[in-house]
Amino acid sequence: MRRKIAVVALAAASLALSLLAGGPAAPAQAADKPLIGLTFDDGPSPERTAFVLDVLKEKGVKATFFLQGSHAQQYPDLVRRIKAEGHVIGNHSWDHANFPDLTQAGQKQEIDATNTAIGAITGTAPTLVRFPFGNSTPYALNYLRSIGMSGGIQWHWEVGEPGDFECPGAAGVQKYVLDEAAPGAIILLHDGNDVLACPATQWTYLAKTIDALRAMGYDFGVVAPSTTASALNEGSYGVVVAP
């Protein structure tokens, strides 16, 4: 609430300055606003990815999609659409394996097969990885570095309310996102796997939550690789940047 008041005060001050300068108020620049990064994991899915893309397009929001390689291979048209609409695509393993349970060869295979599948569809291999369950290993992190990829991308997790995959309903998902919102925060959401079992009414959260974040003064960014770990986002090797 304090943040909202500050943003309104800032907008009023900016308008006053602009009126003093004798001109109309300039449209707010994205760079003036704190960025927040919506990320969608586990897709693409024929059930929900097109819906998410429709909402993002209608709202003028760019996001980051961490795709499961097996799903990308199965639904290449959705992968092409994600790319064509200006979103960032990252690697979320081939079949959502828990990396600490895999052999080194198995971990390499999860990363490589997914990069190959996404690269074959879009012409560009991802530079970002989000480990399933957020679980990395020293081997996988070294391997990513050796092939020029960024370390794992985690998410902002301070309040720790039930996420969208736990089916808290539309109001619950919106509360989770708004409570985790912070300048530069990476927000964990899903468009495949477990979330598909939630009631369809839950999906009304997306448009409303985007509007609520804008009302709080946020603009939307995408995740870019970083060589240093972000304390804000649980050690993510990535930052939210303007799309």
Q: Is 42 in the site for Zn ion (CB under 5 A)?
A: yes
Binding window for Zn ion (CB under 5 A); candidates: 125-133, 152-160, 176-184, 221-229:
125-133
Query: Measured from the CB atom, is 68 or 150 closer to Zn ion?
Result: 68
Query: Measured from the CB atom, is 42 or 219 closer to Zn ion?
Result: 42
Q: Give the CA radius of gyration of the chain.
A: 19
Separation CA 155–CA 158 (nearest Å): 9
**Pick from 237, 236, 240, 189: which is nearest to 210 by CA?**
189
190 an active-site residue? yes
41 an active-site residue? yes
Tell me which of 7, 36, 38, 41 binds Zn ion, using CB under 5 A: 41
Beta carbons of 208 and 174 less than 8 angstroms apart:
yes
DSSP state of 129: B
Read out DSSP for 157-204? -SS----GGG--HHHHHHHHHHHH--TT-EEEEESSGGGGGS-GGGGG
Binding window for Zn ion (CB under 5 A); candidates: 10-18, 33-41, 111-119, 143-151:
33-41
CB of 153 to Zn ion, least distance (A): 12
Q: Is 219 in the site for Zn ion (CB under 5 A)?
A: no
CB of 242 to Zn ion, least distance (A): 26
Query: Measured from the CB atom, is 168 or 192 closer to Zn ion?
Result: 192
Q: Which of 92, 190, 191, 219 does the annotation list as catalytic?
A: 190
Cα 42 off chain centre by? 12
Query: Measured from the CB atom, is 34 or 90 closer to Zn ion?
Result: 90
Q: Is 164 in the site for Zn ion (CB under 5 A)?
A: no
CB of 85 to Zn ion, least distance (A): 21
Binding window for Zn ion (CB under 5 A); candidates: 19-27, 41-49, 143-151, 223-231:
41-49
Binding window for Zn ion (CB under 5 A); candidates: 4-12, 38-46, 69-77, 172-180:
38-46
- Could you tell me whether strands 186-190 and 35-41 are parallel, antiparallel, or unpaired per DSSP bridges? parallel
Ranges of beta strands (E only) in the chain are: 35-41, 64-67, 88-91, 186-190, 219-230, 236-241
DSSP state of 60: T
Closest residue to Zn ion: CB criterion = 41
Which sequence positions are flagged as catalytic? 41, 190
